[in-house]
């Protein structure tokens, strides 16, 4: 719920979430039925739409009480379902004929005829496969009357739009039913069967190599082109990410779309719109594995992989969430010390930079160090102007920070 609140705070027009069943992120902090109802109410009060993922690839054993589940989802008031499996799609159309359906990227729509097929089945929106380039997206948009959605940011699987069996074979955990163990992020080395225990690096590296470890998708700089094509929605992957990641990424993409809209109103042709450097500088503070544009221009090369580590050093992390603005009360998420330089993530792209000059508990006891979970009254220099509830504060960490 906290991630949902943060995404909405920073400008998401819609959010998507998973329930306890039938979702491809079984390991995420998913919602109970009551939690979904609360989330729908929260989103709708703020004029934000909410979609529920029902995107596993089902076996018959998974469908025994499925229609009851669908009816319960309808009663939450959600705006639609995100589905990948044709059988689940059919059951949804029969059980909830008025419920909008969005086709998941796992359905692997890679051509205009496939898009036309799903449109004829009743899909309101299609989230295209991640293996498409700009010109392919353009062709599908020209040939299709169905809304199109494109993933623009987040983790990438070494698979066909997320349909991977590596986890199932190596760990017995089925990624297509929500239980991926993420073996693509493991470090691998080569073993010859007659030399057990003798490891031969796949590359010349004593630590082995992360041969399946893709950099994260980032199409921030290509947003003007996607707008020009006529894509109806862009999507950010973040259900297994932190609250700080979700808020920071949504904030940058919201600012980018608003910038593009402003340029259009001023008469700038879309093909001439280029996001200024501060957008790139801000997104660079967020990434966990580096960045790739994946198939957007051409098939990705070896440069799209991160071979020597599971992730890059994430220098910036959230230190607090604003819970009250007068006085400034924050809930601490990482160690915050008196004298730390911190950044307040407001609505503008540029964060407000200030110093934590004093901290006290809610009872007025002074503190020089606040730990995760503490609630503190924070004094900054300069003082923050009109800090908003649910806004994020962050700071730059180094590897030695404890």
Q: Are 93 and 54 in contact (CB under 8 A)?
A: no
> Which of 111-125, 211-225, 258-272 shows the lowest mean pLDDT across its residues?
211-225
% of residues, the chain, pLDDT over 70: 78
Q: How far apart are CA 258 and CA 224, in angstroms?
A: 11
| Beta bridge partner(s), residue 318 | 394
Cα gap 141→145, rounded to integer Å: 7
Bridge partners for 320 per DSSP:
332, 393
Q: Which residue has the tokens 């593009």?
A: 260
- CA distance linking residue 142 with residue 134, whole number of Å: 12
Which residue matches tokens 């594995």? 289
Q: What is the DSSP string of 170-188?
A: HHS--GGGT----GGGS-B
Residue 312, token pair as written in the block: 């890059």
Taking the C-alpha atoms of residue 389 and residue 391, their distance in angstroms, rounded to an integer, is 6
Q: What is the mean pLDDT of the chain?
A: 85
Q: Which single residue is written with the structure tokens 């074979």? A: 169
33-42, 146-155, 183-192, 344-353: range with lowest mean pLDDT = 183-192
CA distances from 233 to 126, 218, 267 (A): 10, 15, 23
54-90 confidence digits (pLDDT tens): 988 888 888 888 888 899 999 999 999 999 999 999 9
The pLDDT of residue 128 is 94
Q: Confidence class of residue 204 from pLDDT cuts 50, 70 and 90?
A: very low
Q: Which DSSP symbol is given to 222?
A: G
So what's the pLDDT on residue 40?
97
pLDDT of residue 363: 93
Model pLDDT, residue 206: 47
pLDDT at residue 399, rounded to an integer: 41
- Contact (Cβ atoms closer than 8 angstroms) between residue 260 and residue 269: no
What is residue 209's DSSP assignment? Answer: B
Set out the domains of the chain in order of their start, with CATH numbers.
Answer: 2-178+213-304 (3.20.20.70), 316-396 (2.40.30.10)
Q: Is the pLDDT of residue 224 over 70?
A: yes
Q: How confident is the model at residue 286 (pLDDT cuts 50, 70, 90)?
A: confident
Using the predicted structure, report yes or no on whether residue 291 has a pLDDT greater than 90: no
Q: What is the pLDDT of residues 175-199, one digit of tens each?
A: 665 666 666 666 666 676 777 777 6
pLDDT at position 242 = 84
Q: What's the pLDDT score for residue 345?
A: 96
User: What tens digit of pLDDT does each residue of 360-381 get?
Assistant: 999 999 999 999 999 999 999 9
Contact 141, 148 (CB under 8 A): yes
Q: Is the pLDDT of residue 25 over 70?
A: no
pLDDT of residue 310: 59
Task: Report the b/e string of 313-336 with b at 16+ CB within 10 A.
Answer: eeebbbbbbbeeeeebbbbbbbbb
Distance between CA atoms of residues 63 and 177, nearest Å: 13
* C-alpha distances out from residue 244 to 98, 241, 249, 361, Å: 36, 8, 9, 23
> What phi, psi does 303 have (nearest 5°)?
-65, -15
Integer CA distances (angstroms), 277 to 152, 221, 350, in order: 18, 10, 11
């Amino acid at each position: 719920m906290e991630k949902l609140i943060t995404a909405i705070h920073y400008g998401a027009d819609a959010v998507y979430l998973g329930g306890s069943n039938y979702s491809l992120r079984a390991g995420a902090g998913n919602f109970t039925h009551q939690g979904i109802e609360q989330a729908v109410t929260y989103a709708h009060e703020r004029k934000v739409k909410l979609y529920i993922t029902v995107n596993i690839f089902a076996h018959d054993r998974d469908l025994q009480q499925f229609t009851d589940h669908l009816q319960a989802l309808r009663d939450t008031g959600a705006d639609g379902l995100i589905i990948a499996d044709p059988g689940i799609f059919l059951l949804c159309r029969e059980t909830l004929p008025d419920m909008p359906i969005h086709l998941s990227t796992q359905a692997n729509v890679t051509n205009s005829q496939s898009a036309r097929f799903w449109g004829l089945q009743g899909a309101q929106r299609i989230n295209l496969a991640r293996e498409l380039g700009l010109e392919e997206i353009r062709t599908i948009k020209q040939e299709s009357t169905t809304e199109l959605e494109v993933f623009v940011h987040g983790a990438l699987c070494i698979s066909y739009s997320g349909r991977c069996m590596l986890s199932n074979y190596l760990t017995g955990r089925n990624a297509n039913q929500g239980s991926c163990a993420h073996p693509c992020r493991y470090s691998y080395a080569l073993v010859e069967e007659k030399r057990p225990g003798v490891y031969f690096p796949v590359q010349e590296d004593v630590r082995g190599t992360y041969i399946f470890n893709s950099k994260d998708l980032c199409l921030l700089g290509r947003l003007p082109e996607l707008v020009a094509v006529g894509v109806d929605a862009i999507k950010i992957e973040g259900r297994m990410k932190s609250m700080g990641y979700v808020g920071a990424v949504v904030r940058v993409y919201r600012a980018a779309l608003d910038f593009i809209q402003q340029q259009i109103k001023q008469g700038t042709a879309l093909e001439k719109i280029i996001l200024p450097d501060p957008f790139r500088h801000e997104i660079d503070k967020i990434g966990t594995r580096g960045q790739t544009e994946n198939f957007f221009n051409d098939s990705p090369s070896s440069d799209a992989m991160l071979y020597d580590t599971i992730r890059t050093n994430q220098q910036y992390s959230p230190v607090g969430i604003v819970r009250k603005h007068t006085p400034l009360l924050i809930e601490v998420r990482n160690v915050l010390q008196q004298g730390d330089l911190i950044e307040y993530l407001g609505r503008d792209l540029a964060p407000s930079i200030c110093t934590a000059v004093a901290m006290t508990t809610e009872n007025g006891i002074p503190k020089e160090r606040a730990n995760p979970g503490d609630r503190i009254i924070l004094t900054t220099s300069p003082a923050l102007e009109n800090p908003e509830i649910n806004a994020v504060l962050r700071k730059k960490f180094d590897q030695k920070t404890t």
